[in-house]
Every structure is written in C-alpha cells, then in structure tokens.
C-alpha cells in the first residue's frame, strides 16, 4: 500500500492506494522492482507492506491490541534499511508466526521513520525479540534508540509518533 503525498488527511485509510499483492519472495521482488525507491518519492509519503489479511490501520482487528516499533532515520538511509526490513519480513526472519503484521516507511521533511507493526503490545518477551531482530537486520549499533507505541495509545492521542516509549 502507498499513501500519496499531500496535506493532512482526515481519513487515513481512504488515502491509501493498494499497489500490488504477492505470495512469495519472488513475487515481492517482481513487485518491488517496479516501484519507486524511497529516496525517489516526494516528502510526506508512506509505503506499507502488510499481510494480505491486515489493513494498515490501528482499528484493524489484527492491530487493535498491538503496537509498533519505530526507528527514526537521518535522510539518505531509508532505501537501504527499508529493503533490509522488507526482506526480513517477507523471508520470515523474525520467526514469531503471525505476530508481525507489517512494516511502514514514512518519508518526512527532516527524517524518515521505519516501523514494524505487531499484534500483541503486552507480550514483552516477543516484543523485545522483535526489537533485537530489527536491530540485527538493519545492522544498527546496539545503543540505537528505538521507540514503541501501543496502537491503543495512538488511538487515544491520535498520533503515531508522539508520546512513545524509548528503548536503547
């Protein structure tokens, strides 16, 4: 899915465009080879890569009790790290069953934000495992700051990126 650039939107889901679906790693590469890379899209653009049965919105039943890990990126890193995380998700590197719902790359003015959405915000052991695999896949230093936010909290404050829990 892709959310096109533009002004603030009131209905997030209606602004998304489904670009393609696939069922294999080869299918992923077939689709990905035709997409603009993150460093080629306009600012205020979101790319979503989610399981076919999961809508990339907080209110989807698969997401309602979940949350997301976020890592803020300086400009210029998004394309490489998005590809690494996408390959890890498509290749089931996380080894947590259907706990991973999808990933999002948010291209913004001063930074880009890469996030991984999971089903169960209260499962601390699995969440720490997911965080550690993200760091390993992205090859970032161990002390890299990551943020986590439960979707219930996002619904309360109507924000994806404010009031997050910070982890090193």
The pLDDT tens digits for 52-84 are 999 999 999 999 999 999 999 999 999 999 999
Position 1 scores a pLDDT of 53
Position 139 scores a pLDDT of 97
101-123 mean pLDDT: 97
Model pTM score: 0.90
Average pLDDT of the chain is 92
Structural domains in the chain (count) = 1
Domain of 78?
A: 2-167
CB under 8 A, 24+ apart: contacts of 127-136: 127/67, 127/69, 129/94, 129/96, 130/69, 130/94, 130/96, 130/99, 130/100, 131/69, 131/167, 133/88, 133/93, 133/94, 134/69, 134/71, 134/85
Position 15 scores a pLDDT of 82
């Amino acid at each position: 899915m892709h959310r096109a650039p533009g002004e603030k939107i009131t209905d997030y889901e209606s602004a998304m465009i489904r670009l393609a679906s696939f069922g294999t790693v080869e299918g992923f590469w077939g689709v990905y080879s035709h997409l603009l890379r993150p460093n080629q899209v306009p600012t205020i653009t979101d790319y979503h890569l989610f399981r076919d049965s999961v809508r990339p919105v907080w209110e989807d039943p698969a997401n309602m009790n979940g949350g997301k890990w976020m890592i803020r990126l300086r400009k210029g890193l998004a394309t490489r790290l998005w590809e690494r995380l996408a390959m890890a998700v498509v290749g089931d590197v996380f080894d947590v069953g259907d706990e991973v719902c999808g990933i999002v790359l948010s291209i913004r003015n001063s930074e880009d934000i890469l996030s991984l959405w999971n089903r169960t915000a209260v499962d601390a052991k699995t969440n720490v495992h997911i965080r550690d695999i993200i760091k390993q896949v992205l090859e970032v230093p161990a002390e890299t700051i990551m943020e986590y936010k439960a979707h219930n909290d996002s619904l309360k404050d109507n924000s994806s990126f404010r009031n997050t829990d910070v982890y090193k």
